[in-house]
Chain A
Amino acid sequence: MSSDLWQPLEIALILFASGVFAFSSLRAFGASRVLVSQAHRRRALWDLVLGILTIPFEVAVLVFYFGPSGLTTEYLLSAAFGIAFNLVAFFFLNGTIMVAQAMDFFHRDTFRWGKTNIIVLGLFMVSIAGTLFSPVGGTLFNVLWVGIFAYGAIVLVATGLRVRDRAMRTHMKWIGLFAVVLSVPFLFRGNPYPLLLGFAVGSLVYYRATVSLLITARVTQAAGK
């Protein structure tokens, strides 16, 4: 790994994002214990898993793009983890959209996502393979990868707007924003700062998404309010 990657500012950004993702996961774990409906509990558990996985993914991305080039063990491991994380993230996004559709009183299939998600998944796999392994056109595949995440985010937000439950609707919006914030910096993958900033801002957005599952209140016995 190149030593110039680990400058103080970069380390600070990595630590900040990792801390917020870890705390978000803790909140998600708490939510999964108190929310009893299957839809909500599963959302919280998915939040927990994705929050935890995003921390090593951040490191893997930096190693992949800015570490030693060539087929080193570090390169291959980070690529393998990147693929696994991407698949988890896609299924997370897909699952969230399906929950949003189920919570819509009229179960509307926004942008026909329910029928086209297999095609989108196929394109997504192609975009990952192209970004990682294509000797030419890697950038094009990268744009396709970002585009798919952005499209998923749009579908999610549009579906979420049809959900009348405030907690779930807010959750959908923040998760949609998270998908955009985390994916768009990959368009500037030659420079680590957009990626690091993307992860830092993404961690805050993710925290907001996680806590939005819970409508909490401060109650006191004396006041009874």
Chain B
Amino acid sequence: MVSSGIPALDSILTDGFPDRSSVLVLGQSGIGKEALGYWFTHSGLLQGDYCLYVTHRPVNDILRDMKAFGVPTDRVPEWIASAGSPTKCDLEDFTSISFNLKQAVLKNAGRRIRVVTDVVSPLLVLNPQPTMYKYWSKLLGDLKQSDCVILATAEEGMHSESTIAALEQQFDGIIELRLQVEGISITPLLRVKKMLGLAPLHGFFRFSVSNRGMEVAPYVE
């Protein structure tokens, strides 16, 4: 098992994400999906794993976000980013993204690898859906040939329900983040919708993201 970097989430998942798996974090924009990626990366760096962050944003933006979320940035992953990295992430050239990603993974074969990416939604929006389904299916399959765990984020508000359903089938695990309105308060909730090797988990958990980290606690209606 591979730690998510968030102890409370690890205990829900009985020790973390399964080896050689792909996990999709779904939720509306701004809700804190990226925080899961930041802590997952940080945990990997502490354990000496090879960590690769593939993003359509500039490296500086991600580092600033990490600091805001209380994630130490003394160790950083390798980047494939839109700016600030030796290898560029060009959303209009998705084949180069997968090529660079696979190359980086190949170079580090023998080590445990963690890949975090936020390019699922942009690529799905900018390219024909059938092409993207084949693309992700092939890419995830190839990456899992190595000792690799992939954590991807997708914006729920960018896709139709059918697209989300099709996307969910591509991944071994789905973590869903939602907002629940209760009177005048708004509660952020987390659910593990599916996870490879785990019985279905239907319960929701409260979560909060702050500069002290991410906390997950049981949700009582």
A interface, CB within 8 angstroms of B: 26-27, 30-31, 33-41, 105, 164-168, 213-221, 224
Contacts and interface: CB of A to CB of B under 8 A. Distances in A.
Contacts of B99: none
Contact of B91 (A26, A105, A214): A105
A186 B184 CA distance: 33
12 contacts: A30-B185, A36-B30, A36-B31, A37-B32, A38-B64, A40-B29, A105-B126, A164-B155, A165-B29, A215-B156, A216-B181, A218-B181
Q: How large is the interface on B (under 10, 10 to 19, 20 to 34, 35 or more residues)?
A: 35 or more
A28 B185 CA distance: 11
B69 interface: yes
Contact of B179 (A37, A41, A216, A224): A216
Interface stretch (B1-9, B73-81, B136-144, B186-194): B186-194
B204 A36 contact: no
Contacts of A219: 178, 180, 189, 204
**Which interface residue of B179, B181, B188, B204 has the most chain A CB atoms within 10 A?**
B179
B65 A38 contact: yes
A41 B32 CA distance: 11
A217 B180 contact: yes
Contacts of A168: 29, 157
Closest 6 CB pairs of A and B: A40-B30, A224-B202, A166-B157, A35-B30, A37-B30, A36-B32
Given A105-B125, A167-B29, A220 B158 contact: no
A27 B64 CA distance: 27
A39 B56 contact: no
Given A35-B31, A224-B202, A105 B157 contact: no
B209 interface: yes
B28 interface: yes
A92 B125 CA distance: 29
**Which interface residue of B29, B68, B188 has the most chain A CB atoms within 10 A?**
B29
Nearest to A26: B184
B35 interface: yes
Interface string B101-132: 00000000000000000000110011000000
Contacts of A27: 184
Contacts of B181: 214, 216, 218
Contacts of B184: 26-27, 30
Contacts, number: 88
Contact of A214 (B64, B126, B186, B203): B186
Contacts of B93: none
Given A105-B56, A166-B158, A38 B91 contact: no
Interface in B155-205: 155-158, 178-181, 184-189, 191, 202-204
A218 B34 contact: no
A30 to B, nearest CB: 4
Contacts of A166: 157-158
B49 to A, nearest CB: 25
Interface in B10-60: 28-32, 34-35, 56
B157 A215 contact: yes
B156 to A, nearest CB: 7
A165 B68 CA distance: 23
A101 to B, nearest CB: 14
Contacts of B28: 167, 214-215
A37 B91 CA distance: 21
Given A36-B69, A167-B29, A217-B180, A224 B186 contact: no
B125 A164 contact: yes
Nearest to B158: A164
A29 to B, nearest CB: 10
A31 B28 CA distance: 13
